[in-house]
Each structure stands twice: as C-alpha cells, then as structure tokens.
A and B are shown apart, each in its own frame.
Chain A
Amino acid sequence: VDSCPRRILVVDDDHGILDSFEVLLGDRFDLIKAENGADALRILDVDPPELMFLDIKMPGINGIDILKKLREDRNHVGVVVITASNEEGIEDEAKSFGLIDYLKKPLDIFEIDRIASHVLS
C-alpha cells in the first residue's frame, strides 16, 4: 500500500460534476479539479495525475484539444471521457485517442468506482 494516495484529475466546467467527484472519490484519492482546459493542461504539465476524467464540451480549450495535446506530448495518462453529449462524431473522435472508457452522463458511482479502483490498483 502506497503511503501517498493515487492522483486523479477531473476536468469539467460544471460545478455539479466537480462536486460529485469530490464526494465520490475525494476521501480515497488525491483528487484535483480543473474547471477549464487551460487549468487542466497546466496541471498535466506540472503535476501529472495517473487517471483523468475529462469532459469534452468546455469553453476555450475543450476535451478534444486536451487529448490532442496529450498525444503530442506522448503523455500516456489514462483518460476516461465523461460527457453529456449524444453526438456520435465526438464519441468516435474521442475514442480514436485511445481511452480507458467513454462514459455518458448521468454518471453512475459504481462505474466510476470500478474504473478508479481497477486502473489504480
């Protein structure tokens, strides 16, 4: 058992979502929240997490932009996309970056739990 908790980044411009992750994973993991793409990239650069939950539709730098940046940087952090969108184009494009999973909102706590535990075990 590691002494320091594993690091997880949640990127979403919706405070409700960020708050949900806080109550769900906050007491077990080192949970970092970013409410826009720019913040997320900075965190990814400075203090990279082991797992990232990423929203796609955000103002400014969006989820796809971040995925592109990760590929450019050969950053192999595990990404789980969380989205409220139904657009197939977005799903296909996101999946082309190699995701752990692609989850549609509303999210299910058991699914999140399972992924987090599995990836970080």
Chain B
Amino acid sequence: MPSDKYSKALRLQTRLIIYSTLLILILMSLVIVLVEKSQRKTIEDEVKKRGVAIAHNLASLSTNALLTYNYVVLEQNGEKVALEEDIAYIIVHDKENRVAVYSQHDEKQGTILADEVSKRAVGTSTLLIQPTFYGEMEEPILDISIPVYIKESKEKWGTVRVGLSLERMSGQILKTRIYLLLLGFFAILFGTMGSIFFARRITQPISTLVDITISAAKGDLEQEINIRTGDEIEELSRNFSHMIEQIRLHRNELENQLREIVSLKAYNDNILSSMTNGMITIDLENRVVTLNKMAERLLEKRSEEVIGFPLAKALGPQHPFHGMMMETLFHAKGISYSELKLKKGEEILWLIAGTSLLTDGEGKKIGALMVFQDITEIKALEEKLRRSDRLAALGSLSAGLAHEIRNPLSAIKTFVQLLPKKSDNSSFMEKFHITVPREVDRINQLVEDLLELTRTRKRTLVSLDVNHLMTQVIDLHGEEMKKRKVALEDHLDRTIPQIQGDPEQIYRALSNLVINSIQAMPTGGLLSISSRHENSKAPVIKIIILDTGIGMDETTSQNLFSPFFTTKDKGVGLGMALTRKIVEDHNGTIEVSSEKGKGSTFVLKFPVVRT
C-alpha cells in the first residue's frame, strides 16, 4: 500500500542527520581525546624537563657545599631556587641522608625524613621522578630527585630534591581541555547543521519522487517529474518517469482492449439474448456456463438457478439434455440435430436439439454447447399437413378408383340398356355374355387389388428362382408380344442364387411390369429382360426390365408407384402400386428411369439371404 511512505522519507532524513551527527561526535571525541592526550603530554614533558633542569642546576650548585657540609651555601642556593616559579619545595639531603636544606621548613634541618617518597628519593642512584601530593592542600606535585656524585668517584655525597608544583600545568591542561570541548561543541553544532542541510538536499528529491510514486500508485500517471539533481536521484527519477510512461501506455492499451472486450461481450450477449434458439454451454465439470434468454424461457429456469451448477442438478439427471451433453463431452463429438419431446406441465414441448464440442484456440476441448429450438408449432403444422396429405392421397385414390370403375361400368350399362331391345339378337347376346361378365370381373379385380394393397398378409417364404418365374411370365404374354410386334431380348443369368419369397406374389409383380412394358409399346419395340447377381457386402439379385416404348415424363415416373396416379395420358391403376408393395414386402427395392418417347427401365433388387 502506498500510504504513509512520506513519514518513512522523513525518517530517512532524521536517520541521515542522526548518523552524520553521531559520526561527527565520535570523530570529534576521538580528535579531542587524542589532542588532549598529546597536549597534556607536551605540557607534562615541558614541566618535567624544567623541573629536571632546575634539579640539575641545583645539584651542580650544591656539589661543593655538600662535600664541605657547608649548609649555609646550600641553604642560600636552595632558597634562591625555591623562589622560582612552580617550585613547591627544595630539599637537599647530605651524605647521611639528613635534611641539609628544606625550603620554608628550617625546623626539619638535620632530621631524616621517614615518608616513603623521601626514602625512595634518598635511595636512588639515578634521576628519580615520583608523582605525589604535598602540603595541607594535598596538591599534586612531582618529586624530582637527583643523587650528587663527584667526578671519578662512585660515592654519593647527597641528594637534591625539587618539589615541582603541577598546579599551573593542570590549569594549562584544563584550559586546553576547555578549548577542545568548545571546538568539539562548535564542530558538532556546525556538523549537525551541515548534515541537516545535506540530508534535506538529498532527501528532498526522494520525497518528491515518493510523492509522485504515491499518486502514480493511486492511478495518476499523467505527471511530470522534474528533478534536476544531476546525480543518481535524477537518473532514478528519469527511469521512473520512463517507467510511468510505459505503464501509462500499457494502461491505455489495456483500457482500449478492455473497452473492446466489453463491447464485444455486449455484442455477444446481445446475439445470445436475441437468438430465437435456446443455448446452453457447460464446462468440463458439467457446470452450466451460459444460458441464454430463450433457453430460460423454454426450460422455465432462471439463469441464476442454473449457471454455475452441474447440469444434472440444474435440469435434473433424467433430462435428455444431460445425457446428450455427457455424450458430447465423452466422445468429444457433437450430436446432430434430433427431435426431443419434453413435458411442460400439461403441454408437450417438441424441441429439436443438437450439440457440439467447445474447443479453445488450440483445439483442446473446454466444454460442450447445445442449441435447441421449439418446434412444437412446426410439429402441429406437420401433423396438419400429414392429415391433409392423407386426405389428398385419399382424394386422388378415389379419383383413380372412379376412373377405373367407370369404364367397365359404362360397358355394362350399355349392354344392360340394350338388353330389352336386342335380347332376340343372337350376335348381341353372344357379345353380352362375353363382355358383361368380363367387365364385372374387371371391377372385382380392382376391388381385389385395392384390398391386396392395404392388406398385411403373412407371406409364405420359400426359396425361389426368379429366372424361372420371369420365364413363365414371358411365356404367358408371348402371344400378346407377337401381336404387338414386340421383340424379346433374354439376358437372364441362369447362375444367380435363389431368393426367399412368396412365388405367387413375385410372379404377380413381374407380370405387372412386363404387361406395363408391353402396353407401353403399342406400335412394337424391344423388351429386354436381364438378371444378375451382385455379390457385394449385401448381396442382391438384380432384375432389369427395359422397353423401347412411349416412356414417361418425370412427373409420371416419379408418381408411377402411387395408387391410381393419373395423367392425361393414362391412369396407371393399382398395378404399379401393388408391384412396389410386393417388392418392398420382400425387403427389395424398385426403381424406374424413363424418357418420354424412348422407353423405360425398371430395376428390381432382392436381397440374397446366405444360408
């Protein structure tokens, strides 16, 4: 969090001041201690040197007097020296260590001093300097003792002692110390002030930078950084400025992308909600990701109840959508559109639904999508259409039936109407007896065919040879063909296998086709019959009946197998419809191709059941 970094910057300044002040303090203390020590030593050395000089001088002055025990001279010399500055006392001991001179202490003359300093002083054979205290005030002094020898003799003739007062020296040292302390104080004072000044100078641009970073962190990237310190801080601020600029550019780019994404999402949402199809998507965990408005309506669920929940929970595990989606994810393959029946309260909802697999840019599956549409109305329309289709078919069947019945009826009517008048006419009566029963039979045959067409009869299946049946049919119509000048081409393959079927029915189908072909050639032509065995994966017997007759237009050939389909040319009656029924009852197929004026070709296929 960017807050309160400013106080840290302040602390940085304080720290700088404290550290530099401490550094100055330590350095100054060190300097003061060293200077004081050296000064003190110098002063002490000087004092000592002077004391030793005085002592030597007195000793040389006193040598002769000591040799001669001339106490007066000794005293005079001693008192004279004792008057010099800083001299606390002058003591001269004779050869026997008795006090010969003791400045300002004449009463001690002739005594032997028993204190430790005096003992050591008279006992020394070289220069001895002892720090000690003197007088009632116990002032610090140096006792400088010099033994007195005469030349070329090792016999000691006495000891000269000078008590050198250190009071003045202490004063000097004290003064030096005061100077040094004052110096130290001012040095620390100015040093601290200087450090405050420099710390400020250093931390000021950093504070500015910190301020900028705080507002940058809060989102204000539009600021100019103007720090001209000419050092690393300027470089830092320059880099930071560059960084902010980069961030600003990136942010702008991101903002633009975000705007695009938002508008794209709005666009997509719009499409989804405007779709007249229902749409659901799920992820790999079967959780619903998307549910559009139409899906909400058709499934009567609100998206809040569904989105994020497993599909089985949202719609119920028995819901057909669940199974379809599972299958899609499992096989990683969409399911093509199929019709579904859903119960919606009392009503039935017909849907057409299909799924597809959802994949990412790299083709990895990420879920499944289902699109569905309400086809309830279409279904109702279809039902209506089927009903009207059935009625239309019934109408055309009736029309055809009427046509087929009226011809024989007309003939019967004529003969019956003429009967009263011509019952005596034997020629008429002969024709009557031929024609009327024949025409009645025709009507009866029509009724039979009609019944046959609608009957679902149990067939008696036996192994049969199609070639044999075909030959029988051709034989039966041989005369007719001869009469009509129809030539026969026989391409029957005698090696074809037998098929399973009802021989009577197959005979009838073949017969119908042959008659149809012969009738299509009123002025003669060619009838070609062939059979062959097609031994493929599903082996079949193929029978082809080809004529070079009048042919049919496309409408006629397309409707040829509809019962009583009629054109201006000819009502086809029930024969062809019956033929198709027989073929299909035997799991076979029948196809016709025809060209008007050139002829027709019928192709029948019957499956061969391998035994």
Residues of A within 8 A of B (CB): 13-14, 16-17, 19-20, 22-24, 35-36, 38, 56-60, 62-64, 84-87, 90, 104-110
Contact = CB atoms under 8 A, between A and B. Distances in A.
B522 A57 contact: no
Nearest to A21: B414
Given A16-B408, A19-B435, A57 B403 contact: yes
Contacts of B428: 23
Contacts of B410: 16-17, 20, 84, 105-107
B569 to A, nearest CB: 5
Contacts of A108: 413, 417
| B interface, size bucket | 35 or more
B403 A23 contact: no
A27 B415 CA distance: 15
Contacts of A106: 406, 409-410, 412-414
A90 B414 contact: no
A-B pairs with lowest CB-CB distance, top 6: A16-B411, A84-B406, A20-B414, A106-B410, A105-B410, A105-B406
Contacts of B567: 57
B433 to A, nearest CB: 12
Contacts of B520: 59
Nearest to A107: B410
Contacts of A58: 569-570
A107 B412 CA distance: 10
Given A85-B403, A106-B410, A106-B413, A59 B568 contact: no
A59 B418 contact: no
B399 A86 contact: yes
B38 to A, nearest CB: 145
A105 B570 contact: no
20 contacts: A16-B442, A19-B431, A19-B435, A20-B410, A20-B415, A23-B431, A36-B522, A59-B519, A59-B522, A59-B570, A64-B568, A86-B399, A90-B568, A105-B406, A105-B407, A105-B410, A106-B410, A107-B413, A108-B413, A109-B418
A13 B570 contact: yes
Interface in B427-446: 428, 431-432, 435, 438-439, 442
Contacts, number: 97
A23 B428 CA distance: 7
A105 B439 CA distance: 14
A24 B422 CA distance: 10
A87 B523 contact: no
Nearest to A58: B570
B566 interface: yes
Contacts of A87: 399
B413 A59 contact: no
A109 B421 CA distance: 12
A45 B63 CA distance: 200
Contacts of A36: 522
Interface of B: 399, 402-404, 406-415, 417-418, 422, 428, 431-432, 435, 438-439, 442, 519-520, 522-523, 550, 566-571
A109 B550 contact: no
A32 to B, nearest CB: 17
Scoring B402, B403, B520, B523 by chain A CB atoms within 10 A of each residue's CB, the highest score goes to: B403
A109 B418 CA distance: 8
Contacts of A62: 568-570
A116 to B, nearest CB: 13
A17 B407 contact: yes
Contacts of B402: 84, 86
Contacts of B522: 35-36, 38, 59-60
Contacts of B407: 14, 16-17, 84, 105
A17 B411 contact: yes
Nearest to A63: B568
B50 to A, nearest CB: 163
Nearest to B421: A109
Given A23-B422, A57-B571, 4 more contacts: A20-B415, A56-B568, A58-B570, A62-B569
A24 B414 CA distance: 8
A36 to B, nearest CB: 5
Nearest to A12: B407
A35 B523 CA distance: 12
B409 A105 contact: yes
Contacts of B412: 16, 106
B569 A23 contact: no
A58 B412 CA distance: 20
A106 B408 CA distance: 8
Contacts of B571: 57
A22 B569 contact: no
A90 B568 CA distance: 8
A101 to B, nearest CB: 15
B568 A57 contact: yes
Given A23-B418, A36-B522, A105-B407, A57 B570 contact: yes
Contacts of A59: 519-520, 522, 550, 569-570
A24 B435 CA distance: 13
A24 B411 contact: no
Contacts of B566: 57, 85
A41 to B, nearest CB: 12
Nearest to B436: A16
Scoring B438, B567, B570 by chain A CB atoms within 10 A of each residue's CB, the highest score goes to: B570
B550 A60 contact: yes
B411 A20 contact: yes
A108 B414 CA distance: 7
A35 B532 CA distance: 37
B527 to A, nearest CB: 16
Nearest to A19: B435
B229 to A, nearest CB: 106
A109 B569 contact: no
